[in-house]
Amino acid sequence: MGERLKDRVAIVVGAGSSGPGWGNGKATAVTCAREGAKVFCVDRNVAAARETVDIIHKEGGIAEAHQADVVRDAEVAAMVAACLAKWQRIDVLDNNVGIGSTGGPVELPEQEWDNVFDVNVKSFYLTLKHVLPVMEKQGRGAIVNVSSIASIRSPKGIAYVAYNASKGAVNALTIAVASQYADKGIRCNAILPGLMHTPMIDFLAESYARDSKDHNSAYDRMIDIRNKVSPTGKMGTGWDTANAALFLASDDSAYVNGHLLVVDGGLTVRA
């Protein structure tokens, strides 16, 4: 156990995992606990949140699971109230939830556009709406929003317009909050992960294998393609995102505010 977040309370939204393995939120929750934080693990799938909490407890850490759909204002308000009732403060807010939908402006149904923006942007707005007053009253706080390199880069051949646009909105939201609350002791930064080997790949494989009867083959092709595209020859993992989140949540980044931290093995700097 470390002490970089000793005696602090961290809300990790999206602390469960969408499937077997380590997603960004699950890895971040465990990493925060390993560094001394009391972690409020929030997920729409409370069983997934409890799985993360069980891991933390087995390692001797402190955590609590909470079910919430963070696109609903009342549930976000209840989430914050429950965390305060449990531990009386909120020092770190880590926003991890996110979904995607393939298609360009012409192909993408309006309902899917709205759904992506609800999950990827509205949820961040709502958690900020209810957590910022708590942090302002405390006189300090650190917010970490998980965006994506898709907010600044759109590879040829992949139409992902709603995801691209929504993550760009997350960047702008992060910068706006950082500026507004800088003199109140609150920092707000974002992480832009690149190609990561997380359980979400399984859903991507499903999307790209709609015309194939062999899901396993599609999954293997997805892994191979993403590894080859990565400059290091392999994708990053949820732990790479988690380590970046720990840095931004801790006093190691005390003078870092409004920053968009790219974690992609150098993918975005390639011509």
Active site residues: 163
DSSP string for 176-226: HHHHHHGGGTEEEEEEEE-SEESTHHHHHHHHHTTT-S-HHHHHHHHHHHH
Q: In 10 A of CB 82, how many CB atoms?
A: 17
Q: In 10 A of CB 46, how many CB atoms?
A: 16
Assign residue 141 a region (left: φ > 0; alpha: ψ between -120 and 50; beta: otherwise).
left
Return the structure tokens found at 152.
């600044």
Degrees (nearest 5) of the Cα angle 42, 164, 233? 85
Phi, psi for 28 (deg, rounded to 5): -65, -45
The strand pair at 9-13 and 38-43 is best described as parallel
